[in-house]
Amino acid sequence: MQLRATIMLIRAAEHCTKSPRPGLLSSIGASRARELPGLFGARGVDGRGALPMPEFIFVCGSAEALTSVERETVSPLARASNISIDEDYGLGEEHRLVGNVEAIGATVLICWPLSAIPLIARLVLRNEAFSVGWPEGRFDLIWSFVWDSDRGAYRFGERIQRISSDSGADPGTG
C-alpha cells in the first residue's frame, strides 16, 4: 500500500513592501505567524477544530535571499512543534517538491510564494484544469489536499485562518 501525504499549503504572511523593512513580516503578518501554531494539533483556536500537525515543513529557499518571509511565517510553528524547516527547494522546482512530498507520505505544510501556489495545487491534484485562484490580497487561506482512498485522489479544501489581532491595516506598511 502506497502512503499518501496530507498536504497543506499557505503563502507567506503579510509582509512589508515599502521601506524601512522590505521583505520582513509586517506587524499583522508577525501576529499571523505567532498564531499559526494554534491552528494545528489537538486544539484549534478558531473554533473549527484543529488541522493535523505537520510532520514536515517546506518553504521556498533561495541562495540569494537574506531573509525569507516564508521562513519567518512558519518559524513559530516549527519552534512550537520542534520541526525543522526544509528550504531545499526554490521557485521553479515545484515538480520536484511535490514529488518528494508525496514520496514522504506524511502530513506536510508548504509555505510558498503566491505566484507558484496554483501550480503546486495542479501538481498535487494532477489536474491542469484546476482553476481556483488565490486572491492577491489574501494571506489567511490554508489550502489542504487530503488523500481520499475511496476516490484514489486528493480532495481539495480551503480554510480561513482568523487572527485575533487583524486590525485591517495595510499589510504593506507594517
Q: Work out the average pLDDT over 77-104.
A: 94
Closest of 163, 170, 16 to residue 76, by C-alpha: 163
Q: Is residue 167 part of a domain?
A: no
The set of residues, in sequence order, having a beta carbon less than 8 Å from that of 58 and lying 6+ positions away, is 85, 86, 87, 89, 97, 101, 108, 109, 110, 111, 112
Question: Does residue 64 lie in a domain region?
Answer: yes
In a domain, 1, yes or no: no
Whether residue 97 is contained in a domain is answered as yes
Q: Record the cell numbers describing residue 4, joined without a space.
A: 499518501
Range(s) of the domain holding residue 38: 6-160
In a domain, 63, yes or no: yes
- The model's confidence at residue 3, banded by pLDDT at 50, 70 and 90, is low
pLDDT at 137: 87
Position 131 in a domain: yes
Structural domain includes residue 170 = no
At 135-170, the pLDDT tens digits run: 888 999 999 999 888 888 899 999 888 766 544 444
Question: How far is C-alpha 98 from the geometric centre of its chain's CA atoms?
Answer: 13
- Please report the sign of the dihedral spanned by the C-alpha atoms of residue 92, residue 71, residue 145, residue 99: positive
Say whether pLDDT at 173 is over 60. no
Q: Is the pTM of this model over 0.75?
A: yes
Q: What is the mean pLDDT of residues 47-59?
A: 83
Residue 37 lies in a domain: yes
DSSP code per residue over 102-162:
HHHTSEEEEE--GGGHHHHHHHHHT-TT------TT---EEEEEEEETTTTEEEEEEEEPP
- Choice between 164 and 29, residue whose per-residue pLDDT is larger: 29
Which CATH number is 79's domain given? 3.40.50.1240
Pairing of strands 107-111, 6-10: parallel
Lowest mean pLDDT among 42-51, 115-124, 157-166: 42-51
Q: Count up the domains in the chain and report the number.
A: 1
Residue 45's closest CA among 80, 97, 85? 80
